[in-house]
Each structure stands twice: as structure tokens, then as C-alpha cells.
Structure 1
Amino acid sequence: MERLDEVGTLCDLTHMPSVETSLVIDASADAIWKVLTDFASYDAWNPVVKKARGRASVGADLDFVLQIGPIKAPIAARVVEADGRELRWEGPRVRALSPIARGSHYFRLEALDETRTRLVHGEDFGGPVFALPWKVLGPQLEKSYAALNRALAREVERRDR
């Protein structure tokens, strides 16, 4: 199915957009996991996910404010993976909104050795809300997620001192 986006180009609604970023961090996967799952500390270091409340356990509710540039959006998600190497949450929890807009946000930790880990951070999106403005939203999300990665690395290194 194809539709016109706001600049008049075709976008394919059968292939929903995604963003994936990565960064090698000079720390163990365990050290990164501790910071990544410490939601209460996100306000101190995280430029994208603010006011996070919840637990990093499968089935737990996670509430936060997503800040992408000047836009702030309250998010109600559910943790679907939390095994020490991958943290993934999906939202919205309100099922009525899922056909319109949904996301599966993930962080994967790939140990390169005992002191270096590749962080793979991204999100898979679904629903027509994301398909139409993707040419504007996609690059902004990628930039914001990369900034989150760098902030996470700084926070892990700060705590490791």
C-alpha cells in the first residue's frame, strides 16, 4: 500500500521504518547494563528518555517522557526483554493506539572483550503515524539516539572511575 507523504513523495506503508545506531563503549556489558537499567537516574544523564519510572523485568510497566529535539511525548510501554544483554520495551500499552502508532525500542549489548562492549540501540516502528513524516522524523531520531548512546558511555565511564 502506498500513500503520499506531506512533500508529495510515495511512502510504502507495508515496510515500516526503523532506526538503529551503535557505539563501542570502553566498559564491560555488566557495567553498561547497571546504568541502562537504573531508570531512576535517567534524568541525570539521558538526553532522550526523561522521568523514567519502572523496572527492567519482563512484563513490567515503564513510563517516561521521550524528548526528541523540542518535542516531548509521554510514553507508556511494557518491558518485553531484560536478560542482561538486551533491554526491549514496546508501546503503547493502550491497545487502542497500537494500530495507529507503536514502537519496539531496544538496547543490545555485545561483549567484544572484558572491557569493551558494542551497544546496538534502535527502534522498530509501526502504524501510519510514523510512515508519513519519516523523512523528517527518521534523521532526528537517529541523531537523538546517537546522543543517548554517547551520554550512556560517559555515564558508565563516570561510574566506573
Structure 2
Amino acid sequence: MAIEIKTEILINAQPEKVWAILTDFKSYPNWNPFIKSIIGDVKVGNKITVRIEPPNTKGMTFKPKVLTFETNKELKWLGNLLFAGLFDGEHKFELIDNRNGITTFKQSEKFAGILVPLFKKQLDNNTKKGFEEMNSKLKGLVEQK
């Protein structure tokens, strides 16, 4: 079974400004309510350490592999619980330049694996809410600078 969570928000700024804050991983503990930390060299092929804390759930730390790191456009990684095929998540941040000083920020994750049905309710509620809270905080932070 596979499910996908998709969220998006319009940010009144150029993609470069959004990207600068999105990729300032050392500042995440100060503003990000969902992803508490990203540690490591965020380059394609590297493993990084990510700590997430969705609302109303226990947080978790995992070590995904960076799949895409395209400046001002996209960051994507693939993580799994214990081993591939059990519970895999492909997380993506995407910035769309609307060419009018507004950026569409999309955050999504595709979940696959045999344990996905067990976590479906939590993913649909808590994880999606975490995405939305992060998106809102990112928008506020970018637009106030």
C-alpha cells in the first residue's frame, strides 16, 4: 500500500529567499515546528540525520539518503524504517517560481511499504498537520525578512 501527503502554500518572495531559509538547517530548531533538525552534508547520494516531531505524536529520528538537491528548486530524500520495504518515505520540498515575486512552496511525501496501513490515520492527520504548520511558519519567516 502507498499513500501520498501533499501540501502547498504561496509565499510572497522570490524562490532564492525561500530557499535560503529552507536550507539554513542550523536554524530549524528555532522556527520549525515539524522538522526539528537536519544534520549532515546535504548533497545528492549522502545520508543525513533528520528529526521530525509531528503534532501529538512521538518524534522520530531517521537517516534518509538525499536524492535531489537542486538550488532554489527542489530537495528530496528517501528514508525507511529499519529496512527498505517496511515503511519508506520519499519527502520532497519543491519551489515553483510564479514569475511575479510569489513562490509556490510544495511539501509532499510518498509513503510505501507493508506497515503503511498501520500508520495511515496518523499520516493523514498528524503528519499532514505538521507539514501545514511548517509551511505556515516558513511563509511567515520569509515574508518578515
| Fold match (TM-score > 0.5) | yes
Name the counterpart of 2:77: 89
Separation in 1 of the partners of 2:110 and 2:92?
A: 9
**Percent of aligned positions that are identical:** 27
1:133 corresponds to which of 95, 119, 138: 119
Report the aligned-residue RMSD. 1.6
Separation in 2 of the partners of 1:51 and 1:112?
A: 29
1:46 corresponds to which of 32, 55, 63: 32
Name the counterpart of 1:29: 15
Flag the structure with higher strand content. 1
Give the match's secondary structure for 1:128: coil
1:118 corresponds to which of 104, 110, 114: 104
Unaligned runs of 5+ in 1: 1-12
Number of residue pairs aligned between Structure 1 and Structure 2: 143
**1:90-109 residue pairs with structure 2 within 5 A?**
90-92=78-80, 97-109=83-95
Offset of residue 114 of structure 1 = 4.4
Separation in 2 of the partners of 1:57 and 1:136?
A: 30
Name the counterpart of 1:8: none
Offset of residue 32 of structure 1 = 0.7
Name the counterpart of 1:3: none
**4+ runs of 1 displaced by more than 4 Å?**
none
Name the counterpart of 1:17: 3
Give the match's secondary structure for 1:115: coil
For the Cα contact (< 8 Å) 1:37–1:56, is it kept in 2? no
Larger radius of gyration: 1
